[in-house]
Amino acid sequence: MTETGAVVRTGFVDRVEHMDELRSLLADVTEGRGGRALVVDGVSGMGKTALLQAFADEVRAANPASAGRVVSVRCRPSIGSDFHYGAIIDLLVQLAEDQEDRQPGAFRRWLGLTGQGVVRSAPEVLSAIVPGLGAVFTLGKEVAEASLASGSMPFDSLLPFQQGAAAQIVDALLDLVRQGPPTVVLIDDIRYGDPSSLLVLDRLLPRLSGEPLGVVFGHTTDGAYADGPDSKVEDLLHDWAKDGLVRRRMLGGLPRDAVAELVRSRHPDAPPALSEQLSRLTDGHAVFVTLCLEEWRPDAGTTVELPGSLARVVEGRLRLLTESDRELLMIGAAQGDAFLSHTVAEVKGAPHDQVMERLRRIAADHKLIRPAPIPAWAPSDGSDCYRFQHSALSRVVYDQQTPQQKRSRHAGIAAALTDGPLDGMPLERRLEIARHLRSGGAESRLASAEAHYGLARDAALEGLSFAEAERHCEEVIKAVRDLPAHEESRDRRLIQAVELLLSLTEVRWRGQHRPAGGPDIDGLAAEAEAAAKRCGTPEPAIRTTLLRGKTLLATRGLVPSLDKLRAAVELAEQHGDPVPLFVARVEYGRQVSKRRLADGLAQLREAERMYAADPRLGGTGDPVLQHTRNLGEMQLGITLFDSGHLSEALARLTRCVQRLRDEPLKAELPIALNYLAQVHMGLGSYEDAENVLNEALDFEAGRGGDSGWHAYNQALLARLLVERPERRHDSLELIADAWLETERTWLANLVPIVRNLYAEILLLAASETLPLTTGDSRESLDQAGRLAEATCAETRRSGMVRSQIAAHSLRSRTLIRQGDTAAARDQARQAVRILNEVGDMPALRTEEVLYHSAVVLAAGGVNEEAHALLDRARREVARKADLVTDDAARRRFLTRVPLNDAIRRGEGVDR
């Protein structure tokens, strides 16, 4: 009973309880009761692979194809968790082959697949099977290239591409299943699952109940490989079980009757007491039972030799080999569960013919290894391939080597597998080389950094596999840190890896928190910034200073971030190159607007002038500059709106949106539509605003996946709909969903805005004119107050003053409705005090803060102060009205916007 490769059927004994559960799952699928998922857990060597193989053999032998089918795939330990969509590709290929009318295997050969090796890239293979996925990969690649090159892309716009790809893959997979008989998919060794495959499975499992598809995972629970992804996969399985998406079943030792059956099948003439002795000594551990039976001889009677550990069993068998043959197996174990004869010969420094013959004899005489198919990625050097009888055996052989022997052999294996530039090799071979380089010790550190950086960029750009790319970046940073300080390329490579890693993880930055298991983002940015100073060249210094400004924004708030972003602009000005200066100025202008609108307006106007005047900026098709121009243009438009220039803002944002609609990527379109909708709402053009927001939501729904800007657009739509009596409950559902999505994406600048919108909508929903019970109104007010208070606490740390002012205003409005006049008055005055200190703010209507504070103060009997605030609000409305150039738009602004109408009439203040 083995965990790897083919299983000798005479070695399997029935696991009655577990086989019955697998048969029940198949019956549910074939009889139309819907699919479900099962996890078969167990320690290494307990017989999980044998169980799944026996079930697959039973189904294929007993059932006609139309009654049900089993498709088996395996996550590969030799490649580890870095192969993008590895298990999913294997599954899709098998399902697609079943739908082909041509000769079996033709589809696989056309894709360049043999065994478990993939010659074509993951996107190529997936695009050939999944309709429309090629366009997603193409667009995602172009967006990723612009993002990684600029360092200024809001990476939230990239995550939906990967999630959208996963959603399309699930749709295609289910479509292939529906075209054939009901299906049970067996995925063995899920602990080696790559993050991209796990993302697809995460989206697949919730849809099983209505589909003719069941999924069974084989999972090893003993963490045999300490450097593997076991813990992350275990966390995911735990979450799936908690959410009811999978059932977990532990595979324990073989029962006594099963051991007896196995003894009879292997040694029919053995004494009856042998099986009892085996059960007692091995506790039914399948691999122990198998190994002991292989060692047992008839003249031993009931005597069973079982050393205290599997290592002792293996050591005893290895002692039968010559020293030279043991060395061959140790080199093979360094390569992995499966190894190539030519690689072993290169590392040992022996003739290949001689090594091939010795390995053949070891396989024939000692059964520790067996022949295996040559992987497609292997060099064309005439190698034989062998696989250890069990992964636990290879681990024992590997662990018998000294640390330096392991390092030397890993380095030698990497060298043997490298016969040219890495970029031209199949992905699996590059992964194999990188895996050995990172274990190859000091002599391999530089080569390891180079190999992993190339893999990281390819994973992000070619496969939209950001989790895999992130893991490679971490390996680059580890290797580079261990390089000597005098190594010429050390700082340059550190900067590259940190920039890429922080771009990849930006979507997960969590404000003051270090993400669980994630990088210390500000520490890494500071390390890269210091490395850039040591390099003494301006370009990396500007980029890393800009990057540090972004990490400071997330970890320490707006004020320290602005200091660093301003420093990036000053460095770029000293350098004199318009490209980095333009990028830095736009980023600084976008963020400083959150503190002082006038400063942001000045920076963005200057950036616009630069772009128009310098052909090195506006005269190129550089995607980085195009992206930066888009961000700057839309930010200038919304900053003009926040400053009261509504007509100019409308004209600019309308032009910007139209241009973005015509671009192939449309990466920034959801942001621009959000800004345009705000202007329409500010002018009382609510139908236009609703259309624009629906366009934004439809666009991102088609792209798929969570997005902070999708959440913000949905929150704005909810705010729009709450004003309509017939749509208020729809509004509450929309804002609740938007807040959940905001919590999942957690873009630091959007979280307080959406939270404040949620509080405002609840406050409006609690109005006496709404069809809610008294209890509903009380709970809505309480929740609105809690949300506003959370924003107050968060923004005191983050420096997001705009949201802090709004939160104090919302808190005052909530408290006055709850009857706490004194507390409401304090909160209203706090909002006005901060507003007076900082002036107009983005995403905040000055007149709204003044008016609601006036209403609260009037309700508390502070009439003189209330009327003074109302007069200020009226002057602000009049100022903005004077800047509206169209007469019809001005009338709408004054009469159709409820806030402006209430201010003009003095509602709630004038008695």
Give the CATH number of the domain where residue 170 resides.
3.40.50.300
What are 40's strand-pairing partners?
218, 249
Segment 577-632, tens digit of pLDDT: 999 999 999 999 999 998 899 999 999 999 999 999 999 998 877 777 888 899 99
Confidence band of 143 (pLDDT split at 50, 70, 90)? low
Per the listing, tokens 């695009």 go with 127
Strand duo 113-114 + 69-74: pairing = unpaired
Structure tokens at 822: 């004194």
Out of 304, 323, 341, a domain closes at: 304
Residues 43, 151 within the same domain: yes
* pLDDT for the residue numbered 526: 97
Question: Where does the pLDDT of residue 8 fall: very low under 50, low under 70, confident under 90, or very high at 90 and above?
Answer: very low
**Total domain count for the chain?**
2
Q: What is the reported pLDDT for 7?
A: 36
Looking at the fold, whether 188 and 277 belong to one and the same domain comes out as no
Q: What is the pLDDT of residues 496-520, one digit of tens each?
A: 999 888 887 776 675 444 444 567 8
Identify the DSSP state of 860: T
Burial class (CB in 10 A: 0-12, 13-18, 19+), 317: middle
pLDDT at 781 over 70: yes
What pLDDT digit, counting tens, does each position of 368-379 carry?
A: 899 999 988 888
Residue 74 is assigned to a structural domain of this protein? yes
The dihedral sign for the CA sequence 380, 386, 391, 392? negative
- Mapped onto helix, strand or coil, the DSSP state of residue 219 is strand
3-state secondary structure of 141: helix
Question: Of 208, 229, 250, which residue constitutes the final position of a domain?
Answer: 250
Amino acid sitting at position 649: A
- Pair of tokens at residue 831: 């909002």
What distance in Å separates the CA atoms of residue 830 and residue 811, rounded to the nearest whole number? 10
- What lies within 8 Å, CB to CB, of 310 at 6+ separation is 45, 287, 288, 291, 392, 396
Query: Sign of the CA dihedral 765, 770, 776, 782?
Result: positive
Q: Decide if 437 contacts 164 (C-beta within 8 A).
A: no
**Domain carrying residue 269:** 256-304
Q: Looking at residue 795, what is its pLDDT? A: 92
Domain contains 262: yes
**How far is 691 from 98, CA to CA, in rounded Å?**
45
Q: What percent of the chain has pLDDT over 90?
A: 57
Q: Is 33 in the same domain as 161?
A: yes
Q: Which residues contact 573 (CB under 8 A, 6 or more apart)?
A: 581
Residue 94 tokens read as 């098998």
| pLDDT average, residue stretch 203-212 | 92
pLDDT at residue 770 is higher than 70 = no
150 confidence band (pLDDT: 50, 70, 90): low
The answer as to whether 817 is a domain residue is: no
Lowest mean pLDDT across 77-81, 314-318, 549-553, 638-642:
77-81
Per the domain annotation, does 818 fall within a domain?
no
Taking a C-beta distance cutoff of 8 angstroms, is the pair 284, 298 a contact?
Answer: no
The least confident of 93-107, 122-136, 800-814 is: 93-107
Same domain, 271 and 125: no
- Model pLDDT for residues 445-461, shown as the tens digit of each residue: 999 999 999 999 888 87
Q: Does one domain contain both 134 and 197?
A: yes
Is position 41 within any domain?
Answer: yes
Query: What is the Cα 171 distance to its own chain's centre?
Result: 19
Name the pLDDT band for 130 (thresholds 50, 70, 90).
Answer: confident
Rounded CA separation 273/283 (Å): 15
Identify the residue with better confidence: 440 or 112.
440
Q: What is the dihedral of CA 130, 133, 137, 142, to 10 degrees?
A: 160
The per-residue pLDDT for 42 is 84
Residue 515: what pLDDT?
45
Confidence of residue 230 (pLDDT cuts 50, 70, 90): low
Q: What percent of the chain has pLDDT over 70?
A: 86
SS3 731: helix
Q: What angle do CA 159, 161, 167 make, to 5 degrees?
A: 105
pLDDT at 384 over 60: yes
pLDDT at 250 over 50: yes
pLDDT band at 261 (very low <50, low <70, confident <90, very high): confident
Structural domain contains residue 281: yes
Q: Summarize the confidence of residues 111-129 as an average pLDDT.
A: 62
Residue 210 forms part of a structural domain: yes
Same domain, residue pair 212 and 132: yes
pLDDT(655) > 70: yes
Please, which pLDDT band fits residue 18 given cuts at 50, 70 and 90? confident
123 and 56 within one domain? yes
- Report the SS3 class of residue 320: coil
pLDDT digits (tens, 9 = 90+) for 459-490: 887 777 777 888 899 999 999 999 998 888 99
Whole-prediction pTM: 0.77
Any residues with CB less than 8 A from the CB of 751 and at least 6 apart, and which?
Answer: 511, 742, 743, 794
**What confidence category does residue 192 fall into, taking pLDDT thresholds of 50, 70 and 90?**
confident
Average pLDDT over all residues of the chain: 86
Residue 34 scores a pLDDT above 70: yes
Strand arrangement, sheet containing 385-388: 338-340, 385-388, 369-371
Highest mean pLDDT among 329-343, 371-385, 738-752: 329-343
- End-to-end, the C-alpha distance of the chain in Å comes to 88
Q: How far apart are CA 569 and CA 583, in angstroms?
A: 9
Average pLDDT over residues 282-290: 69
Shared domain for 200 and 289, answered yes or no, is no
Q: Is 236 in the same domain as 92?
A: yes
Measure the CA–CA gap between 612 and 610, rounded to whole angstroms: 6
Of the listed ranges 22-36, 109-123, 333-347, the least confidently predicted one is 109-123
CA distance 277 to 256: 10
- The arithmetic mean of pLDDT across residues 853-859, rounded, is 96
Instruction: Report the residue count for the chain.
Output: 911
Asked if pLDDT for residue 228 goes beyond 70, the answer is: no
Whether residues 218 and 79 share a domain: the answer is yes
**Tokens standing for 708?**
């902070």
Rg over alpha carbons for the chain, rounded to the nearest Å, is 33
Residue 774 pLDDT level (bands cut at 50, 70, 90): low
Query: 232 and 115, same structural domain?
Result: yes
Give the range among 287-301, 503-517, 813-827, 857-871 with minimum mean pLDDT. Answer: 503-517
pLDDT-derived band of residue 9, with 50, 70 and 90 as boundaries?
Answer: very low
Based on the fold, state whether residues 205 and 227 are members of the same structural domain.
yes
**Alpha helices for 746-773 (secondary structure H):** 751-765
Q: What integer pLDDT is reported at residue 235 of this predicted model?
A: 85
Q: Is position 563 within any domain?
A: no
